[in-house]
A = this chain, B = another copy of it.
Amino acid sequence: MPREINGRPVIETPRGPVLTPCAPGSVLARLGDKWTILVVSMLSLSPDAPMRFGALRRGIPDISQRMLTLTLRNLERDGLVARHYYTELPPRVEYELTDRGKSMLKPLAAFTDWIRDTWQDIEASRREFDAAEQRRI
């Protein structure tokens, strides 16, 4: 039975372990982009009521209309968000997490909790590292 790390099978070779190439990487790349986690976070604030496009936009400072549209479209494509379009005047569009989208909240929270508890130390390390680099140059 092959070893597995972070959901990825590992092949043992004489020269050491080798990770198998990675389809799940395409999921991480999506979720790791600039806005996706923020949009999911906003949608998780009202688990039972859909949110309007404008409310999402106001809730995420500095996101452009274009990037919010693209991010929502990608989440919809992944089956994590459902989109409801109402042909009124002016039109109303609402978004909500699907069951699959909701299923990711708990695992995601485990990870973001770690980030919340650690990011200040990380930023401190960065400043220290950059300062040391300055001195060497």
By a beta-carbon cutoff of 8 Å, the part of chain A in contact with chain B is 3, 5-8, 10, 13, 15-29, 31-34, 37-38, 40-42, 44-45, 51, 55, 58-62, 76-80, 100, 103-104, 106-119, 121-123, 125-126, 129-130
Q: Which of A44, A113, A114 has the most CB of B within 10 A?
A: A114
Cα-based distance from A111 to B114 in the complex (angstroms): 11
Check if A6 sits within 8 Å of B78, measured CB to CB. Answer: no
Contact B19 A123 (CB under 8 A): no
> Across the interface, which residues of B come within 8 angstroms of A40, CB to CB?
6
Can you show 14 pairs from A to B with CB atoms below 8 A apart? Answer: A8-B38, A10-B45, A13-B58, A15-B58, A19-B42, A31-B32, A76-B129, A78-B126, A104-B114, A104-B118, A107-B110, A107-B111, A107-B114, A110-B111
Assess whether B25 is in contact with A126, with CB atoms less than 8 Å apart: no
